[in-house]
Amino acid sequence: MIITKEFMNRLPMHRIVMLIAIIIVFSNCSSDDTSESTDDDSITTDDGTIDVDSSLFLTDGSAVTITTVPCTLSDGTETDCYQIVTTGVPSDHEMGPWCPSTITDGAEEGGIWLENGEVYDVDGAFIQNMATFYGDDTWKMYDDEGNIYVTDTEEDCENAANPNVGEEYENFCVECLPSYITDLIQTYLIPITPVKLSSSVSFGGDPSDNSPSVRGIAFNGVRFDEPAPTDDILGAYTLAPFDDAGGHINLAAGYHYHAETGVSTQITQDDGHASMIGYALDGYGIYAQLDDIGDEPTDLDDCRGHSDDTRGYHYHVAAAGSNSFINCLSGAYAN
C-alpha cells in the first residue's frame, strides 16, 4: 500500500500514531526474515572437497596422457573421471640403481631396503653383513672374490619374483631392468570430484570383490603401490631393493613405488604444509609425511587423512621405512 501525504492529513492523531507503530512492527519482521534468509544462505554443506587438478601431472612428454571419461564409482555415483594412461616410466628422475656389484661398492651403486620402519642403503657393506643383520648364516649373497650375485636377464627377473622361487635363486639380489617393460601400459581412473564416504574402503586387491590395491598415482604417472611382500622376498633368501626414489620393477606392475622419499615431483605449499606428491584413487590429494619444520599432523584419521581450509580433505603418507603410503580410502573409487 502507498501512503500519501493527503491520506495522512485526513487521519486523526491517534490513528497516525497507530499506523506508525504498525509500520515499525512490519519493518522489523521484514528485517528479521531477511537476516534469517542470509544466515541460511551462508550455511555450507561443503565437506572440503577440491577437484583433481590434472595440470599437475607431467603430461609434456609421452609417458602420461589424460582424458575425461564417464565413470561409475564404487558407491554407484555416475560422474566423470580422469583416465590416466601411463608407461610408468618417470620423466622427473632416473630409475635405479638397485643392486651393487661388489661388497666394496658404496651407497651410490645400490638402492635402499625398508626394514622395521627404517630405510637402509643397500651398499656392498649391507650385502656383506646380511647374515648378521638377519641373524641367519644362510645369507651369503656374494662369491669369494666379493662379487654379488645379481639377476641379469629378464627370465631371471621373472623367475626370482615368483612366490615359489626355486632354490637356484637363493642369495640373489633381484634386479629387474627398465628394458624389460618398454611395452607396458597402465590405465587408471580417478574421479574428478571426490565423493566422501560414510565409512572408509579397505585395500584388498582381490579381483573377485573389485577392491583396489594401488594407493594412488604420482604426478609422473608412477603408481603408489601396496606394501612390498618383504617377508616372502626374504623368506626365499632373495633381496629386491628399491632405488633411492622408493621404486623397483616387476614385469606385471612395471616400475612402481613402495616408499615416498622426496625424489619424485613435489608441489610445495606456500604455508609450509607438507608438499603434494600425487592423488589417491578416490581423487583426494596425497601429501608428504612432514611439513617444512619436520612435523607430522596429529589429527590424521585411520586412512591417514584430515582436512584444512586450503587443501580440503587430503592424505599424508606414512614414513618411508614403513613400506606403506596410506591405509585406506575415504572416498569412492572408480570401478
Give the chain's radius of gyration (CA, Å).
30
Q: Tell me: the pLDDT tens digits for 33-72?
A: 333 333 333 222 355 689 999 999 999 988 999 999 999 9
Res 19 pLDDT > 70: no
For 243, the grid coordinates are 632405488
Please check whether residue 313 is in contact with residue 47, taking contact to mean a CB–CB distance below 8 angstroms.
Answer: yes
User: What string of DSSP letters covers 265-319?
Assistant: --B--TTSPPPEEEEETTS-EEE-SS-TTSPPPS---TTSEEEETTTEEEEEPPP
- Contact yes or no for 67/80 (Cβ under 8 A): no
Share of the chain above pLDDT 90, in %: 79
Question: 98-123 in b/e burial notation, b at 16+ Cβ within 10 A?
Answer: bbbbebebebebbbbbbeeeebbbbb
Average pLDDT over residues 24-38: 36
Give residue 63's pLDDT.
93
Q: Return the pLDDT at 30.
A: 38
Count H helices, E strands: the chain?
A: 6, 17
- Across 6-30, average pLDDT: 45
Q: Could you read off the pLDDT of 194-241 as tens digits, one per residue?
A: 999 999 999 985 555 678 999 999 999 999 999 999 999 999 999 999
Domain ranges of the chain: 54-89+185-227+249-331
Place of cell 564416504: 197
Q: What is the mean pLDDT of the chain?
A: 88
Residue 312 pLDDT: 96
Query: Model confidence over 142-187: pLDDT tens digits?
Result: 999 999 999 999 999 999 887 778 889 999 999 999 999 999 999 9
pTM: 0.84
